[in-house]
């Protein structure tokens, strides 16, 4: 059984290479975790669609059901759920996020990614 929220979520993650479901927007995050992930993506120069879950309760709950993941933010790359703030942070620091973007053909600034790792070494 589908509902309008899950249909909208599926359409969004299918039609955008990179999607961040977050509290607030990329330019105005409304929670620290959302801000951190959006900040990493922005710094790395990744083009992404931001979906403000605070603007729609159906999407806010729907994304948790869609991914079977209890928290927000949630990052999707090429339709696949990647993770939340802790996972994205770990993947950024380990270089796994670079590998995923490269493998999926998502453009990003490798120098910026390296700078994040240097700053956190």
Which pLDDT tens digit goes with each residue over 6-40? 999 999 999 999 999 999 999 999 999 999 999 99
Average pLDDT, the chain: 96
Q: Which residue has the higher pLDDT, 35 or 4?
A: 35
Q: Does residue 66 surpass a pLDDT of 80?
A: yes
Q: Per the CATH hierarchy, to which homologous superfamily does domain 4-119 belong?
A: Glutaredoxin (3.40.30.10)
**Taking Cα atoms as reference points, which of 98, 63, 94, 96 lies closest to residue 81?**
63
Share of the chain above pLDDT 70, in %: 98
**pTM for the full model?**
0.95
| Domain spans in the chain, listed from the N-terminal domain onward | 4-119
Q: What is the dihedral of CA 102, 107, 41, 120, to 10 degrees?
A: 50
The region of weakest confidence among 1-5, 43-47, 94-98 is: 1-5
């Amino acid at each position: 059984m589908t509902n309008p929220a899950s249909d909208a979520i599926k359409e969004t993650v299918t039609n955008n290479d990179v999607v961040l479901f977050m509290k607030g927007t990329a330019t105005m995050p409304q929670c620290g975790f959302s801000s951190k992930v959006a900040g990493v993506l922005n710094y790395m120069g990744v083009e992404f669609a931001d979906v403000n879950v605070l603007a729609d309760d159906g999407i806010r709950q729907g994304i948790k059901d869609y991914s079977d993941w209890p928290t927000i933010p949630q990052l999707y790359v090429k339709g696949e759920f990647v993770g939340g703030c802790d996972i994205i942070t770990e993947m950024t620091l380990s270089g796994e996020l670079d590998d995923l973007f490269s493998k999926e053909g998502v453009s990003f600034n490798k120098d910026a990614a390296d700078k994040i790792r240097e700053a956190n070494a």
